[in-house]
Amino acid sequence: MNHQLTLISLVFFTSAIAETFKNLDSHPQFPCKPPHFSSYPFCNVSLSIKQRAISLVSLLTLPEKIGQLSTTAASVPRLGIPPYEWWSESLHGLADNGPGVSFNGSISAATSFPQVIVSAASFNRTLWYEIGSAVAVEARAMYNGGQAGLTFWAPNINLFRDPRWGRGQETPGEDPKVVSEYGVEFVRGFQEKKKRKVLKTRFGSDNVDDDARYDDDADGKLMLSACCKHFTAYDLEKWGNFTRYDFNAVVTEQDMEDTYQPPFETCIKDGKASCLMCSYNAVNGVPACAQGDLLQKARVEWGFDGYITSDCDAVATIFEYQGYTKSPEEAVADAIKAGVDINCGTYMLRNTQSAIEQGKVSEELVDRALLNLFAVQLRLGLFDGDPRGGHYGKLGSNDICSSDHRKLALEAARQGIVLLKNDYKLLPLNKNHVSSLAIVGPMANNISNMGGTYTGKPCQRKTLFTELLEYVKKTSYASGCSDVSCVSDTGFGEAVAIAKGADFVIVVAGLDLSQETEDKDRFSLSLPGKQKDLVSSVAAVSKKPVILVLTGGGPVDVTFAKTDPRIGSIIWIGYPGETGGQALAEIIFGDFNPGGRLPITWYPESFADVPMSDMHMRADSSRGYPGRTYRFYTGPQVYSFGTGLSYTKFDYKIISAPIRLSLSELLPQQSSHKKQLLQHGEEQLQYIQLDDVMVNSCESLRFNVRVNVRNTGEIDGSHVLMLFSKMARVLSGVPEKQLIGFDRVHIRSNEMMETVFVIDPCKYLSVANDVGKRVIPLGIHALFLGDLQHSLSVEF
């Protein structure tokens, strides 16, 4: 039996059902229509969400209940409840990967923002929030047009653990703090109830008062539902003998606590996400969607208030791929008992009845799942009557592809593009002194992959070549390679010829979705095929040093270009979205000063020898294992996390920061650690375990690091400040360093500004020990800001 075909057929079956009702009307179908269906208690807006959900579940028969367990939820005609499609996508703009979004209607496009890894490189929280908010406006407008649902499955907050991962591009990078904060900002921007007057986008600053952005809503109502995925330790598609459907992620308690879980905990606690998606893979031998302690931790410890969905057919994989259960009924029962509320696909739809009949799961647990599902729909206003009369009823096609949203997409691309090399101050070019340009590379004149995975139908389609042509009319183009795989050099001659005759040459190389995507990981970190030879051949004949532009989400080993004096500048653009060509042209010709920073480590090709299936974060010299990400990696790097150049220079000065931090108030008098200290003296106590810490005492220990930043150059520019800490090595597995604060500031030439980092020591000066408990090491914590270092003595 071909399980993969079975899974795919289920998804297509689901999609086909959805298409039958998605476009029946130019307006969305809705329950509680007067006069026949508006008198039910679940339609009564004066009742609480819980009361309404309980009432609705109590009115359903068992077959009707089971019909709600698929993402293409069945209608209940006798109660006036239409079908509903839960699966819509909005990773970096609305996308029709799932059946919930369709561009086959009056709305045929939506703003395509840069891929997440590019927006993350801006290190601008306000920008992340505004992107989430803009996508939400377009989503609600499409819902009003009957072309989208209200529940969307974004963001992807898995860490970019391995540089070969095909979906790393969808994530905010490799650092738990950055990934966590991106998730919070996107979710809040996407879910929160906006004021009726849509705010003008403010993306120049990283400090905006929350009260100015959204209504203070204590009723739990949602504009839309966002989903934090994929829970958890999911970051392998297809590598070696492993696939995402059968992979067992073996994760230590230490790595789980301080690397894999923080983004999800933060997304739930601070972002208030209303959906959580469990992943295909198993975690330490148990499928994620059948792991009750994992899913219940989210609800009980983290306070998750929403619904839990499986990834598409991840309930089926419990039996079909992983063989964890002996039957489909057991797989369904295990998932429901673990806390999964809905299955993307039809596995629950087809097997829940028999699972109940066999006594493997109770109807009461199905009711529990439905209460979670209906509660989210009620919070979205789905049972409040005609949505055209609601809070967002006026949103329509004019709110999609608006000038404000396209400006925001352009700003995101500008801020996310990273300048990696700029020898001889080759850039920016003066367009008045450039008589001709040569553009080389298959991605330079290709619009199909500008957005990366989960890209819908962009508002505009312009290539990099087209936008560069706006600056220099005498611009020629040659692909050099027929495609990104570049298996032949037959096109090199044309590329070399145009390079010889041009003032300046721009070579566009790197990756596209033929190399990295969902269900496809890379096996090499080098440029694909003969791309390296193409770059070198062109650089050998160019009159001036070449400008190398790199596409793709995953890092590539371009050591050859980094060290070649014939290649003067290197720019990483990732997947920059529909306005990426304009952003790149503005940076090359100096209309925008780059300030992006790499959110991932760029490893050498030798890292491809490290098994992708090894989930350990910490280095282990005894087995030649170099570790992963900047926090633990001990090997050579092509470019480090946080690398990024500017056309100007910035100087720092630490104005104030504590030199000593006492933790004595953290522990209650009766704690075991305090008793140990009193008995044996301070030298015996090497760290404070946070399990012993009094509630709310961490907040009292927060401290400020005040910094002055001066732009000492001649060009205005934005700059990302990154504050790292390096803690005392009093226990095993301490990071090489870790990011504890970041801020993006815009400073005019020869001007100065102050920024403040607020540091919570319990969060950012702590690390997990080898049994997964958070501890704060005592001793010297070195704080680094660029070349500056400040010593902080953490004492008891």
In this structure, what DSSP letter does residue 770 have?
A: T
- Tens of pLDDT, residue by residue over 256-284, are 999 999 999 999 999 999 999 999 999 99
- Could you give the CA distance from residue 667 to residue 677 in angstroms, rounded to a whole number? 11
Which residues on neighbouring strands pair with residue 421, listed in sequence order? 570
For the segment 171-185, the average pLDDT, to the nearest whole number, is 98
Structure confidence at residue 699 (pLDDT): 86
Q: How far apart are the first and last CA of the chain?
A: 63
For the segment 653-675, the average pLDDT, to the nearest whole number, is 78
Backbone angles phi, psi at 258, to 5 degrees: -110, 5
Q: Which residue has the tokens 């653009």?
A: 573
Q: Where are any strands of DSSP class E within 177-285?
A: 227-231, 238-239, 242-243, 248-249, 275-278, 282-283
Structure confidence at residue 698 (pLDDT): 86
Structure confidence at residue 672 (pLDDT): 58
In sequence order, the 6+-apart residues with CB closer than 8 A to the CB of 670 are none
For the segment 736-758, the average pLDDT, to the nearest whole number, is 98
Q: Provide the CATH topology of domain 49-74+226-390.
A: TIM Barrel (3.20.20)
Q: Which residue has the tokens 């926090």?
A: 631
- Could you give the CA distance from residue 443 to residue 678 in angstroms, rounded to a whole number? 66
CA atoms within 13 A on the CB side of 499: 29
Considering only 24-38, 207-221, 232-246, 374-388, which range has the smallest mean pLDDT? 207-221
pLDDT tops 90 at residue 6? no
Q: Which helix (H) or strand (E) holds 580?
A: helix 580-588
pLDDT tops 80 at residue 104? yes
Backbone angles phi, psi at 257, to 5 degrees: -70, -45
CA atoms within 13 A on the CB side of 593: 21
- Could you give the CA distance from residue 38 to residue 34 in angstroms, rounded to a whole number? 5
Pick the residue with more confidence: 594 or 663?
594
Task: State both tokens at 636.
Answer: 């050579």
Structure confidence at residue 24 (pLDDT): 41
pLDDT tops 60 at residue 10? no
pLDDT tops 90 at residue 166? yes
Structure confidence at residue 12 (pLDDT): 39
- Could you give the CA distance from residue 378 to residue 380 in angstroms, rounded to a whole number? 5
- Tens of pLDDT, residue by residue over 442-500, are 999 998 889 999 999 999 999 999 999 999 999 999 999 999 999 999 999 999 999 99
Q: What residues act catalytically? A: 311
- How sure is the predictor about 668, in pLDDT bands with cuts at 50, 70 and 90? low
Structure confidence at residue 669 (pLDDT): 56
Backbone angles phi, psi at 419, to 5 degrees: -90, 115
pLDDT tops 80 at residue 11? no
Which residues on neighbouring strands pair with residue 722, listed in sequence order? 742
Q: Provide the CATH topology of domain 650-794.
A: Immunoglobulin-like (2.60.40)
- Could you give the CA distance from residue 514 to residue 554 in angstroms, rounded to a whole number? 13
For the segment 103-109, the average pLDDT, to the nearest whole number, is 97
Task: State both tokens at 288.
Answer: 């994620």
Structure confidence at residue 308 (pLDDT): 98
**CATH number for the segment(s) 417-623:** 3.40.50.1700
Residue 744 to residues 124, 126, 340, 600, 753, Cα–Cα distance (Å): 6, 10, 39, 17, 12
- Could you give the CA distance from residue 128 to residue 278 in angstroms, rounded to a whole number? 24
Burial grade of 547 (CB within 10 A; 0-12, 13-18, 19 or more): buried
Task: State both tokens at 551.
Answer: 């596409």
Burial grade of 533 (CB within 10 A; 0-12, 13-18, 19 or more): middle
Which ranges of 380-487 would DSSP assign to H, the alpha helix?
A: 403-416, 464-469
Structure confidence at residue 679 (pLDDT): 43
- How sure is the predictor about 212, in pLDDT bands with cuts at 50, 70 and 90? very low
In sequence order, the 6+-apart residues with CB closer than 8 A to the CB of 509 are 441, 443, 527, 531, 534, 535, 548, 549, 550, 551
Using alpha carbons only, what angle is made at residue 361 by residues 355 and 365, rounded to the nearest 5 degrees?
130
Which residues on neighbouring strands pair with residue 758, listed in sequence order? 704
Task: State both tokens at 191.
Answer: 């879910």
For the segment 69-79, the average pLDDT, to the nearest whole number, is 98
Using alpha carbons, select from 191, 159, 370, 201 the residue that is nearest to residue 271.
Answer: 191
Backbone angles phi, psi at 766, to 5 degrees: -110, 165
Pick the residue with more confidence: 296 or 3?
296
- How sure is the predictor about 399, in pLDDT bands with cuts at 50, 70 and 90? very high
Per-domain residue ranges of the chain: 49-74+226-390, 417-623, 650-794
774-777 sheet: strands from edge to edge: 687-689, 774-777, 767-768
- Tens of pLDDT, residue by residue over 669-718, are 555 555 555 444 445 689 988 887 766 788 889 999 999 999 999 999 99
Residue 291 to residues 248, 315, 454, 716, 772, Cα–Cα distance (Å): 13, 12, 28, 52, 18
In this structure, what DSSP letter does residue 235 have?
A: -
Q: Give, to the nearest 10 degrees, the angle between helix 328-338 and helix 363-379.
A: 50
For the segment 594-602, the average pLDDT, to the nearest whole number, is 98
pLDDT tops 90 at residue 794? yes
Structure confidence at residue 19 (pLDDT): 41
8 A C-beta contact, residue 747 and residue 640 = no
What is the percentage of the chain residues whose pLDDT exceeds 70? 91
| pTM, to two decimals | 0.94
pLDDT tops 90 at residue 414? yes
Mean pLDDT of the residues in the chain: 92
- Could you give the CA distance from residue 471 to residue 695 in angstroms, rounded to a whole number? 59
Considering only 136-150, 189-203, 393-407, 717-731, which range has the smallest mean pLDDT? 189-203
Structure confidence at residue 207 (pLDDT): 46
Structure confidence at residue 678 (pLDDT): 44
- How sure is the predictor about 347, in pLDDT bands with cuts at 50, 70 and 90? very high
In sequence order, the 6+-apart residues with CB closer than 8 A to the CB of 581 are 450, 462, 463, 464, 465, 466, 467, 468
- Tens of pLDDT, residue by residue over 426-451, are 999 999 999 999 999 999 999 888 99
Structure confidence at residue 739 (pLDDT): 98
Q: Which residue has the tokens 């990024």?
A: 644
What is the percentage of the chain residues whose pLDDT exceeds 90? 87
pLDDT tops 50 at residue 589? yes
Structure confidence at residue 444 (pLDDT): 97
Q: Which helix (H) or strand (E) holds 764?
A: helix 761-764
pLDDT tops 50 at residue 200? no
pLDDT tops 80 at residue 18? no
